[in-house]
Amino acid sequence: MAGNKDFDLYRPAEEHEELRKVVRSLAEAKIAPFAAEVDEEGRFPQEALDALVAADLHAVHVPEEFGGAGADALATVIVIEEVARVCASSSLIPAVNKLGSLPVALSGSEDLKKRYLSPLAKGEAMFSYCLSEPDAGSDAAGMKTRAVRDGDYWVLNGVKRWITNAGVSEYYTVMAVTDPEKRSKGISAFVVEKGDEGVSFGAPEKKLGIKGSPTREVYLDNVRIPADRMIGAEGTGFATAMKTLDHTRVTIAAQALGIAQGALDYAKGYVRERKQFGKPIADFQGVQFMLADMAMKLEAARQLTYAAAAKSERVDVDLTFFGAAAKCYASDAAMEITTDAVQLLGGYGYTRDYPVERMMRDAKITQIYEGTNQVQRIVMARNLP
């Protein structure tokens, strides 16, 4: 097995494990203490953003030429995984910074990359991704947001829904229809700035989980932007959006891994301390079987996710399948593992005094966003290796 190059790429290298130690230490010291409060108050985890920026972990994917760390896809996965282990809301800072900025990195002009990736790398701005609309979720090509050319400008009108970190991010990758006759091939991508005239935001959604990450509508009312803010050529926006998701679905898998790992770690500690019938409940075979199943599912999800990260880094031809598979499997596993963690804590697991109920609520969204798991199965079926 040692001679199999692909196998070696799936296993984290020594520097990846060192990175894990650094991120875990930071997450436990500077993010975990605020996780319950962030959830309870439904507020943005500013402490996490400050800590991640100070450690240059907020957008590790940005190439070195634009002032970033130039981290590979697996390193990005590890950062998100370790932050999500203590606070899922905070893990959306590095995850959505990648989601929002990757279209620029993949398809933007050199000038656009310098203009927007450099401030992101410095921690001066965050990036969000605007694809979904009130009537265009799974059918993203059915969007209605329009961009109309006016000389050296484009004028955007429409509504984007379910936008993560909306109102906090300075920059937004916005998909809009430039040619209604061409459906997906008539969609183009643009960079919109928070300060552009005509940009506003709806009230924060009242969500089941990830309460610390604001989810809001983005309103575009005659937003006039220079033509050079188009990402790539006209009509290529939808292709860029789908290419982006091939890579970033792996980061949602990473988030699911982290949430599940946090729940498993807490449950393991609890069952060793909790006594019933005169001994720790960890000594009971029924409990042991539950923990074994949780750990097995988690490790299977991790291996699939790391394999997908390696394929993302290499841009393999089967990335679309593996990205969808990793996101789907890891998020389903996270939902099962967090539910079992709540069960292992019994009545205590059902209260907000313990973190596993928050982890269970947070895990649910990983089955829904960046494409529901039903859509992931469609994607996989169409791209069978």
Secondary structure element (H or E) that encloses residue 49, with its range: helix 46-54
Beta bridge partner(s), residue 190: 174, 230
253 and 378 co-located in one domain = yes
Specify the CATH number for the domain of residue 65. Answer: 1.10.540.10
Residue 166 to residues 25, 82, 93, 201, 255, Cα–Cα distance (Å): 28, 23, 12, 7, 19
71 and 171 co-located in one domain = no
Specify the CATH number for the domain of residue 168. Answer: 2.40.110.10
Neighbouring residues of 173: CB distance < 8 A, sequence distance ≥ 6: 100, 101, 103, 104, 127, 128, 129, 130, 189, 190, 191, 192, 231
131 and 106 co-located in one domain = no
What is the structure's pLDDT at 11? 62
Question: Radius of gyration (Cα) for the chain, nearest Å?
Answer: 21
DSSP 323-361: HHHHHHHHHHHHHHHHHHHHHHHGGGGGSTTSTHHHHHH
226 and 354 co-located in one domain = no
Q: How far apart are CA 23 and CA 77, in angstroms?
A: 11
In 3D space, the residue among 326, 301, 247, 314 whose CA is nearest the CA of residue 9 turns out to be: 314
260 and 378 co-located in one domain = yes
Q: How far apart are CA 22 and CA 318, in angstroms?
A: 32
Q: How far apart are CA 80 and CA 276, in angstroms?
A: 37
Q: How far apart are CA 26 and CA 79, in angstroms?
A: 11
Q: Which of residues 97, 122, 147 is at a domain's end? A: 122
- Which one of the listed residues 133, 313, 357, 370 is annotated catalytic? 370
- Its pTM stands at 0.96
- 3-state DSSP percent of the chain in helix, strand and coil, to 5: 60, 15, 25
* pLDDT per residue rounded down to tens, the chain (385 residues): 333 444 444 567 899 999 999 999 999 999 999 999 999 999 999 999 999 999 999 999 999 999 999 999 999 999 999 999 999 999 999 999 999 999 999 999 999 999 999 999 999 999 999 999 999 999 999 999 999 999 999 999 999 999 999 999 999 999 999 999 999 999 999 999 999 999 999 999 999 999 999 999 999 999 999 999 999 999 999 999 999 999 999 999 999 999 999 999 999 999 999 999 999 999 999 999 999 999 999 999 999 999 999 999 999 999 999 999 999 999 999 999 999 999 999 999 999 999 999 999 999 999 999 999 999 999 999 999 8
According to DSSP, residue 135 is labeled T
64 and 113 co-located in one domain = yes
Secondary structure element (H or E) that encloses residue 158, with its range: strand 153-164
Q: Which of residues 190, 209, 235 is at a domain's end? A: 235
What is the structure's pLDDT at 6? 46
Q: What amino acid is encoded at 124 in this protein? A: E
Beta bridge partner(s), residue 275: 280
254 and 291 co-located in one domain = yes
**Cβ contact 246:323 at 8 Å:** yes
Q: How far apart are CA 104 and CA 84, in angstroms?
A: 25
DSSP 301-330: HHHHHHHHHHHHHHT-TTHHHHHHHHHHHH
Q: What amino acid is encoded at 117 in this protein? A: L
Q: Which of residues 122, 156, 184 is at a domain's end? A: 122
In total, how many domains does the chain have? 3
Q: How far apart are CA 141 and CA 237, in angstroms?
A: 10
Specify the CATH number for the domain of residue 301. Answer: 1.20.140.10
What is the structure's pLDDT at 13? 82
Give me 47's structure tokens: 């402490």
Indicate if 370 belongs to the active site: yes
Residue 256 to residues 138, 163, 168, 261, 299, Cα–Cα distance (Å): 20, 19, 23, 9, 12
Question: Hey, is 210 helix, strand or coil?
Answer: coil
228 and 245 co-located in one domain = no
151 and 177 co-located in one domain = yes
Domain that holds residue 321: 238-382
106 and 132 co-located in one domain = no
23 and 109 co-located in one domain = yes
Token pair 């370790």 is at which residue?
82
**Cβ contact 268:306 at 8 Å:** no
257 and 362 co-located in one domain = yes
